[in-house]
Each structure stands twice: as structure tokens, then as C-alpha cells.
Amino acid sequence: MARTARDTALETRTARARLAVRGEPYWKQLDGGLALGYRRKKSGGSWLARRWDGERKRYTEHALGSTDDVQDADGAAHLSFSQAQAVARTWYREEERRALGLSASTGPYTVADACDDYIAHYVGKGGRSEYATRRVIEIHILPSLGGVELAKLTTRCIRDWHRGIATAPKMVRTKSTAKERATRAVDHDDTDAVRSRRATANRILTVLKAALNHAWHERHISSDEAWRAVKPFAAVDAPVIRYLKPAECMRLVNACAEPLRSLVRGALLTGARYSELARLKVVDIDLDARTVAVREAKGGKPRHIVLTDEATALFRSLIHGKDGSALVFARDDGGPWKPAQQTRPLAEACAVAKIVPAIGFHVLRHTHASTLAMAGVPMGVIAAQLGHADTRITEKHYAHLAPSYVADTIRAAFPKLGIVPESNVKELAPKKG
């Protein structure tokens, strides 16, 4: 629970008895905009709480109950100094929720309450990954931690939960008619599979910490020590970037049926995210400037994607005869592509194209960026094309693919040792035309 404040003038009956009788309360600041007040009367006294109302530009006061000056504290009608603090914080929390337009909570403030408040805050500030964030909370956080009172959340509880995610079977796409969510066991002897699960656990931990930190900043708890002490798994986010080679790109495109084929082509030729392509409208395409305007990017910052000759030809064919408000990439029924609707048809196309293991849609974005990197395009240019805030993420994922002085020098200087026999296997020459 929140740490009890100390005040030698208010915390005991004897100390309060020495205070002068007056109408103005004696105030003790508790957390942020919350203060606890003691009004001294001729016989006993009463407790009050006060918070700053930013909208009305004034303090709001609330009567909490009588003190235990004359009668012993019972936690209801007569409150001790520490009990009054607890009641004051409960009132303050409800007032803050009401100011945010949230429904009043019943009972202690829980992890579920913190997640609800965080989502409201996240959407209010313009967060672009609301769907993904909600899914992480609903699937991974609420079932295990949702009912835990925030003041009783411990470091060990969070750490055990975090480790449990890393060792649990991987959740996979499940039919809507299924009674239980489908999972796939993790091979704990496979170091890459273990690394991947730990990386996933770290990403989920980040969402939990964001929700808890928001609750802490909103004064729903007095300390962030419980989760600050939980550290993510180390050395698990080293990028293992997969990308398709030109021949694989051709096989995949040929294996896709429309309208997925156009969507895949668009991703390969622009490096845009699935969600960005799904929202594109004809008005966003400028064939004269040969650019695509991405108005709602992941980081909230719009950008323009440069189109090559091949990409320009693709978009010209896609928007021909459509009005400005029409979707560039639409499903068979004319509706937009929704979250995860591309997953199953893309996996089926990978099976036909003999791309094993099957790729996710994001690999198409990696393919676009990797192709640019291997062609010697500067990291800053690739970052601008992808919409990265700076080159750090770009370099982390793609710098190893770029031509470099180190790689060129090693390959030129290292002598041939003659320890590998000559092979008679020759690559087939590409077909002309």
C-alpha cells in the first residue's frame, strides 16, 4: 500500500491536542496535488482532504470523518492519522478518474484499473498502436495480474510472471469456434526459439511497465520500486533479420491471388507497414512527384515514401479510374484490410511458393530495406523511407548488409588456404526476358 506520511504535529492525539483551535485546517501534503487536513475543534477534530482542480483553477475539499481525539479509531466514523491518509487517497483516486471521464472504481486500485487508465491515456495522446496494446493487455497481462491490487504488487510477482511468459508455449492463430486458444510448444533446446520467446516477454513487460508507470505518475501508488527492479532478459533483441531474395519475391507474388498479390507487391516496393498500406487512399498517391503520403505512421509522424519506376507503375494501375476517397488496397468485398486478415492467406501463399518457414508480412518491409542496404544506400536515406525516427534502429537491423570497408578489406586480404575442395555445382543462368 502507499507509504504512510509522517508528521509529528498530527500523527498522535497528544501532539494534536497542543495545536490551537482554529477554523483553518492544518495541512499535510501527501502526494502531488493531494493534501490531508486536520481541523482543530474545542472538543476533538475532523479530517479533510484537498486536491487541486486544474479545470476550475481552485482547491476542492472533502470531509473524511472525525479524528480519534476523543474516541478510539474504528476505521469508519473515527479515523487515525494513517487511516485518514488511506481514505484521502481513495477519494483522490476517484476524483482523478472522474476528471479523466472514467467510471468510478469499486474497491482497491488494481492492475486492471491501471491498464484501463493507461489505454485511455494512450488513446488520448494519439497512440498509434491501440489495437496491439489492447491485445497484449487482454491476452498476457489481465489473466494473471489483472486482479492484483496495485499496492500489493511485488517484484517477485512481476518477475515470476515475466519468466512464465518466456517459458510458456507460443500462442498461435486460433479459429473463432475453438473453445481454447491454440498454442505451439517451444523447443527449449533451440537457442533461437528461446531467444524469441524472451524477446516477446520483454515486449509484453514494456507494456505492463508503461501502464504501471502511468498509475504511479497519477499518484495511485507512492513508489515504482516493485516493477523498476524487474529487468528484461538481456541480449535477446539482437536482430536476426530475414528477407527474401529476388527469386523468392517472384515466387511469392506469383503464388498470391488478388487482392493479396497487389498488397504484397505494394509492401515489397515501398517498405510500408501492413497497417499503412491498408489505410492508403487514392488521394495519398502523387504520381507526378512519384511519392506516397503516409498520414498515420506508427510513431505518429507522417512521411512520404519515394516510388521507383516499378512502384509508380504499380500504383498507377491500382488507382486508375478510382476517386480520391477510394482505398488503394481493398479486399474482394471492397472493404479495408483489417488486423491479421493477411496472416492466413500469406501463409498459404508461402506454402505454394515453397518459402520455408513461412514469413510474416513484416518480412516484406525488411526485404525492401535490406535490398536498399545491399545496394549501398545510406542508412539515413533508408531510415527516411521506412519512417524511423533516427538511424539507430535502421543501423541495428540493416547496417551489416551494407557494403563496408571492413568487409571489403577482409575479403581482399585473406589468402585462399586451399582447404575447401572445388565444387562442380554451377548456378543456373537467369532466364532472359
More confident call, 251 vs 1: 251
Q: What is the mean pLDDT of the chain?
A: 87
Look at residues 210, 254, 248 and name the one whose alpha carbon lies nearest to residue 111: 210
Q: What is the mean pLDDT of residues 378-406?
A: 89
Compute the C-alpha angle 181/187/190, nearest 5°: 140
Quote the pLDDT of residue 1: 41
Quote the pLDDT of residue 296: 80
**Weakest-pLDDT range from 88-97, 161-170, 315-324:** 88-97
Q: Where are the domains of the chain?
A: 13-99, 111-228, 246-413
Look at residues 257, 298, 265 and name the one whose alpha carbon lies nearest to residue 127: 298
State the Cα–Cα distance between residues 15 and 397, nearest whole angstrom.
64
Distance from the Cα of residue 70 to its chain's centroid:
53
Is 13-99's fold the same as 246-413's? Answer: no
Confidence of residue 128 (pLDDT cuts 50, 70, 90): low
Confidence of residue 324 (pLDDT cuts 50, 70, 90): very high
**Is the per-residue pLDDT at 178 higher than 70?**
no
Architecture of domain 111-228: Orthogonal Bundle (1.10)
The pairs formed by 350-357 with CB atoms below 8 angstroms and a separation of 24 or more are 350/252, 350/255, 352/255, 353/248, 353/251, 353/252, 353/254, 353/255, 354/251, 355/244, 355/248, 355/251, 355/252
Q: Which of 27-36, 46-55, 149-158 has the highest mean pLDDT?
A: 149-158
Quote the pLDDT of residue 19: 92
**Weakest-pLDDT range from 34-38, 155-159, 203-207:** 34-38
At 117-126, the pLDDT tens digits run 888 888 777 6
**Is the per-residue pLDDT at 431 higher than 80?**
no
Distance from the Cα of residue 326 to its chain's centroid:
30
Quote the pLDDT of residue 429: 63
Q: Is the pTM of this model over 0.85?
A: no
Going by CATH, does the domain composed of 13-99 fall within 2.60.40? no
Give the Cβ contact number of residue 69 at 10 Å.
Answer: 18
Topology, domain 246-413: hpI Integrase; Chain A (1.10.443)
Report the chain's C-alpha Rg in angstroms: 30
Give the Cβ contact number of residue 424 at 10 Å.
Answer: 5
At 82-116, the pLDDT tens digits run 888 888 877 887 777 677 666 555 568 899 989 98
